[in-house]
Structure 1
């Protein structure tokens, strides 16, 4: 016959643990699982603190290296601004268009010696030589017919006596249009 345990005491946790043999093995298994879990949690917490410390260092370094707001630039003196504007005007000179227009109007009987543009006045001084006065006048008239120029005028002329061919050296002033 089997042994019968008769116990009239009220049931409690301590009594249940004492009486159940499997309860001790469940507690031991729980302890075996809790210990590695606790060490992993502590290790993760240390890594998290180290990561936060590195992030703070990087943010501090970034704040230190960040460009500081610059002071507003000093006003440019009027003389310097004028010089810069004159240089910009000279650089924005329509060289190709002027050259092409003058070259298109220049006949083979006229030799171009110099082109002197003045961007501020939108004027061009042309120095050239021609074999005769008729060629010179024809050249000035050809320049006047070009759409590039508003006003074309013969500024001066002279005969080169030292040259055996006696060419006429002359200067023409031409005002070019703002938008050809």
Structure 2
């Protein structure tokens, strides 16, 4: 009986290294396809984002149009009108009525807000009454001083009366 010993290695063909290589190649191919799909999706999202941003910009521009240019003289006229509306009527009328004696009739009040003056036209029987009234107003806040403008003699109901126009300056 003889035993035969073979020291050379026998070659067996095992398929597992090839299967591992094939699996790795398939996995790499799948990763490549996923990368391509992700890049395509990224490009689509960026394009959509740009379209949305452009639409928002158009809506914002439509919502906020260019400011209207107004001529300087029109701005001055608007500011003057607003100034006339901001006349402190309550203070002025309270001061006018507080010192008005019997026998004096207020015919007109015309404010000038730009100069803080009030033109008063008053009527009375005597000039001294009108002068005293104007001086009393100038001494009472919110007024500071008065300036006589015009004096007329008028006839009302067959009776001669005196009209005095004067400006009162008020403290702003």
Query: TM-score range, shorter-chain basis?
Result: 0.5 to 0.7
Question: What are structure 2's unaligned runs of at least 5 residues?
Answer: 1-51
Cross-structure match for 2:59: 67
| TM-score normalized by the length of structure 1 | 0.58
Question: What are structure 1's unaligned runs of at least 5 residues?
Answer: 1-59
Cross-structure match for 2:18: none
Cross-structure match for 2:118: 124
TM superposition shift of 1:154: 1.9
Aligned positions of 1:41-56 closer than 5 A: none
Aligned positions of 1:140-179 closer than 5 A: 140-161=134-155, 163-178=157-172
TM superposition shift of 1:132: 0.8
Go from structure 1 to structure 2 and tell me whether the alpha carbon gap of 1:74 and 1:137 turns closer, same or farther (over 3 Å shift): closer
The question of 1:111 aligning with 2:100 is answered: no
The separation in 1 between residues aligned to 2:128 and 2:159, in whole angstroms, is 15
Cross-structure match for 1:92: 86
The separation in 2 between residues aligned to 1:140 and 1:157, in whole angstroms, is 13
Q: Summarize deviations over 1:2-28 as a string: whole Å, max 9, x none.
A: xxxxxxxxxxxxxxxxxxxxxxxxxxx
Q: What's the RMSD between the two structures over aligned residues? A: 2.3
TM superposition shift of 1:162: 6.5
Deviating runs (4+, > 3 A) in structure 1?
none
TM superposition shift of 1:147: 1.6
| TM-score normalized by the length of structure 2 | 0.61
The question of 1:78 aligning with 2:75 is answered: no
Q: Summarize deviations over 1:65-106 as a string: whole Å, max 9, x none.
A: x83233431332201211111111111111111111111121
More deviation, 155-164/137-146 = 155-164
The separation in 2 between residues aligned to 1:171 and 1:154, in whole angstroms, is 6
The separation in 2 between residues aligned to 1:132 and 1:102, in whole angstroms, is 19
